[in-house]
Amino acid sequence: MGMPPHSDHGLLTLLIQNGIGGLQIQHKGKWVNVGTHPNSFLVNTGDHLEILSNGRYKSVLHRAMVNSNGTRMSIAMAHGPSLDSVVSPAPELLVSSEGDEPAAYIGMKYKDYLELQQSNKLDRVRILAV
Ligand SMILES: O=C(O)CCC(=O)C(=O)O
Ligand SMILES: [Fe+2]
């Protein structure tokens, strides 16, 4: 099964793949193939890690391509906060010895974020870019 370009919600996603490639990440504007390594997890950074870290860790834009070499199977395990948590940049990261750093993201309840992401309104674009 293929998947259109998106970034994951939550902090981190752990992905197990069956050895058939097809996952690609966007790096410097180009789609790059991700290899499959046996007995390993692939870890994707998610939107809420980007928000919490005030942009220090960017969520990765990725997609899954189908191919004729075999059936690709993967299991993705998302990890995020509780649904009622408001996620915003960590206050500790907004002050440093060099002065104040502006918050680059507004706070939003995780549940509301998921509803927005799942709605058809955004056509599965990267929600942080909206
Ligand atoms: O097919 C894949 O490995 C991608 C899965 C994925 O990106 C997701 O479930 O969010
Ligand atoms: Fe994903």
Out of 1, 3, 44, 61, mutate this one to test ligand 1's pocket (max ligand atoms within 8 Å of CB): namely 3
pLDDT at residue 126 greater than cutoff 90: no
| Residue appearing with tokens 């440093």 | 96
Give the number of whichever ligand sits closest to the CA of residue 2: 1
Yes or no: say if 20 and 34 are a contact pair by the CB < 8 Å rule: no
Q: Among candidates 70, 67, 69, 61, which has minimal Cα distance to 30?
A: 61
User: If you average pLDDT over every residue of the chain, what do you get?
Assistant: 90
Domains of the chain, start order:
3-129 (2.60.120.330)
Q: What is the pLDDT of residues 9-54, one digit of tens each?
A: 999 999 999 999 999 999 999 999 999 999 999 999 999 999 999 9
pLDDT over 90 (residue 98): no
pTM for this entry: 0.89
Q: Is the pLDDT of residue 107 over 90?
A: yes
Nearest CA to ligand 1 atom 1: 64
Query: Do 12 and 43 meet the contact criterion of CB atoms below 8 Å apart?
Result: yes
Percent of the chain with pLDDT over 70: 94
